[in-house]
Amino acid sequence: MISRHSIGGDLNTDYRPCKMSEIIGHDVQKRMIGNAITNKTLPHAMMFIGPSGCGKTTFARIVALGLNCIEGPTSEPCCKCDRCRATLNLNSLAVMEVDAGRTGNVAVTRSILEDLPAAPMGSDPYKVIIFDEAHKLGGASGSEDALLKSLEDMPKHVYIILCTNEPQKLKEVTQNRCKVTQFSRLSNDDIYKLLKEISEADGIEYKSDILRYITEEVDGVPRAALSFLQQISSEGSWTKEAASLIINAGVDLDNVEVYDFCRALVKHRSFQKALADYKKIKNVPLERMRISISGFFVGCLKNARTIEEADRFSSIIEFMSKPYFNIPKPEHVLINSLFKITKILRNR
């Protein structure tokens, strides 16, 4: 059963599984890794591979929680003890997550590895290092070479987990020194179950046909499914038209005002109303605004019913595609673009 572990307004974060039993799908991986934790046979060097958003890092975090939980080692950490709360809040001294894409340079990697032989600080029995986007350790940085020695000769109190969707970018010798676990996308039934359980747990008044539509569109990626669920719930109408625009357009609905602005733009086709509506939007950077408008009309283009309608949307996308960076007065350009959009939309 899915449980809420935080309150931050983001479904992906609030309902991130913290126990093996909370994970939907991945039955083989759950049994294999869960049994290894419980039986204290977990390999000290692991590599989790699979598509983006399929749950690799979530599994790695559950491993870290289970190893250090006061009730552990266990595949069902309590998520309440001081050790678990520290890991969940990302301030544990024993568990470190490294985004190799941002901080995977050789100096940072060596600094982490040099500290491994020391015992964990506090009461935690194990150190767990999770390298996300681990394929970025490879290449010219030298980080992968620095890591190899540690993978070969790991202290008993240390576990290293490499998470990557591009394992081919890592050396064969690196893969050979790790226990590799393959993760795949979820089935449509699993995605639908996930959406339904979280909707009910969060008090979302959902429509089953829209949950099915989300399921069909996300290609088995739970992170994308929950992102669309949150956006569609925020928009509120639960219509197929709105869901289609959200899913196909890629509009960032963290700020629902942007989506409402785009819909009003198409509906009224009035420059003066568009200008008035634009002035009501707060705290949205102009470049994000441009990208959101472009994305909205890409969705409109995909759903166009006639060649003439598609041609109008294509024209809008064409002049909205130029970034606003390095333009002296980007707001002036955006206002001019709004005028051109309304002019094109009126030519029906």
Q: What is the pLDDT of residue 255?
A: 52
Average pLDDT over residues 69-96: 92
Q: Parse the chain into domains and list their residue ranges.
A: 11-182, 188-346
CA torsion through residues 336, 337, 338, 339, sign: positive
- Kindly state the helix (H) or strand (E) to which residue 132 belongs, with its residue range: strand 127-132
Tell me if residue 55 falls in helix, strand or coil.
Answer: coil
In angstroms, rounded to a whole number, what is the distance separating the alpha carbons of residues 132 and 127? 16
Pick the range with the lowest mean pLDDT from 5-14, 78-87, 130-139: 5-14
Look at 35-44, 288-297, 333-342 and tell me which has the smallest mean pLDDT: 288-297
pTM over 0.85: no
Alpha-carbon span 254 to 8, nearest angstrom: 13
What average pLDDT does range 29-39 have in this prediction?
95
168-214 residue pLDDT tens: 989 999 999 999 999 999 999 999 999 999 999 999 999 999 999 99
Cβ atoms of residues 44 and 151 within 8 Å: no
Q: What is the largest CA-CA distance in the chain?
A: 71
Residue with the bigger pLDDT between 303 and 36: it is: 36
pLDDT above 90 covers what percent of the chain? Answer: 45
Res. 141: pLDDT tops 70: no
Q: Does residue 217 surpass a pLDDT of 70?
A: yes
Q: Residue 2's pLDDT is what?
A: 74
Are the C-beta atoms of 336 and 330 separated by less than 8 Å? no
Say yes or no to pLDDT of 114 above 60: yes
Amino acid at 53: G
Which tens digits make up the pLDDT trace of 237-294? 998 878 877 776 555 544 567 777 888 888 889 999 999 888 888 777 787 788 878 8
Domain 11-182: which topology?
Answer: Rossmann fold (3.40.50)
Cα(214)–Cα(244) distance, rounded to whole angstroms? 9
- Structural contact between residues 164 and 49, judged by C-beta atoms closer than 8 angstroms: yes
* pLDDT at residue 6, rounded to an integer: 74
Identify the pLDDT of residue 41. 96
Q: Which of 58-62, 90-94, 303-307 has the lowest mean pLDDT?
A: 303-307
Task: Return the closest-CA partner of residue 159 out of 138, 144, 141, 178.
Answer: 178
Chain centroid to CA 260: how far?
A: 24
Q: How far is CA 332 from CA 286, 313, 324, in A?
A: 10, 22, 10
d(CA 274, CA 264): 8
> What does the pLDDT read at residue 40?
94
Region 49-74: mean pLDDT is: 93
Residue whose token pair is 């008090």 = 203
Residues 6 or more apart from 110 whose CB is under 8 A from it? 146
**Closest to 101 measured CA to CA, from 137, 140, 65:** 137
